[in-house]
Amino acid sequence: MTATVERMVLGPVQANTYILTDSETNQAAVIDAGDCPKALLDALRGKDVRYILLTHGHYDHILGVPALKAAFPNSQICIHALDADCLHDTAKSLAAAAGEQERPIIPDRLLHEGDEIALGKTRLTVLHTPGHTEGGVCYVDYENRLLFSGDTLFCLTAGRTDFPGGSYEELLASLLRLRALDGDFTVYPGHNRSTTLDAERRRNRYMRRLGV
């Protein structure tokens, strides 16, 4: 392993925040931030925070981003181009419906399928996995066998598709892509506990339903 993963459960909907740290360089990425409490800043102390990587633009994954960016002004906020509107549109991020105050966020980098994020020798590849939102992504570390799946794939279930921009057909296609990845991965979803891709291939009702 060239990297470590820490998890915190943050924000109004108990979304997972992950801290991925390259062991050699101490460069780190924060993946989603539903809040930015002192505990998160404490966990990041001494790390070289390079990226704030968003799996998608729903408010429960981004409410902590302004404070996190303020604490680490050199970090790059990254989101898929198709979810970038969520960063200033409280209807699209669902913040308005939830009665949450969302501060506008300016992304530093818009992501597309196949983009790479580097933390020292640790590499994340962007997989565009729409369905839960139009611009949902997974971040894959092929070397360390890590899959940050956002609200696309959860332990034993999958993301909702009834929000604006959601599509059940696209979600199934995205799950099919994940299922077809080579080998096993530790899966770090946007909510609830971690799992493995092999376990989901066997037990996840959405993945099992997909054609071979």
List residues binding Zn ion (CB under 5 A). Answer: 15, 58, 60, 151, 190
Of 65, 136, 125, 59, the closest CA to residue 95 belongs to 59
Least distance from Zn ion to the Cβ atom of residue 191, Å: 6
Q: Which residue's C-beta sits nearest to Zn ion?
A: 58
* Residue with Cβ nearer Zn ion (3 or 171): 171
* Residue with Cβ nearer Zn ion (50 or 206): 206
Least distance from Zn ion to the Cβ atom of residue 179, Å: 20
Least distance from Zn ion to the Cβ atom of residue 73, Å: 26
Least distance from Zn ion to the Cβ atom of residue 13, Å: 6
Distance of CA 56 to the CA centre of its chain: 6
* Residue with Cβ nearer Zn ion (7 or 145): 7
Least distance from Zn ion to the Cβ atom of residue 132, Å: 6
* Residue with Cβ nearer Zn ion (66 or 131): 131
Of 76, 79, 100, 80, the closest CA to residue 90 belongs to 100
Least distance from Zn ion to the Cβ atom of residue 163, Å: 7
* Residue with Cβ nearer Zn ion (36 or 119): 36
Instruction: For residue 47, give every residue at least 6 positions away whose Cβ sits within 8 Å of its Cβ, in sequence order, or none.
Output: 19, 21, 26, 27, 28
* Residue with Cβ nearer Zn ion (3 or 126): 126
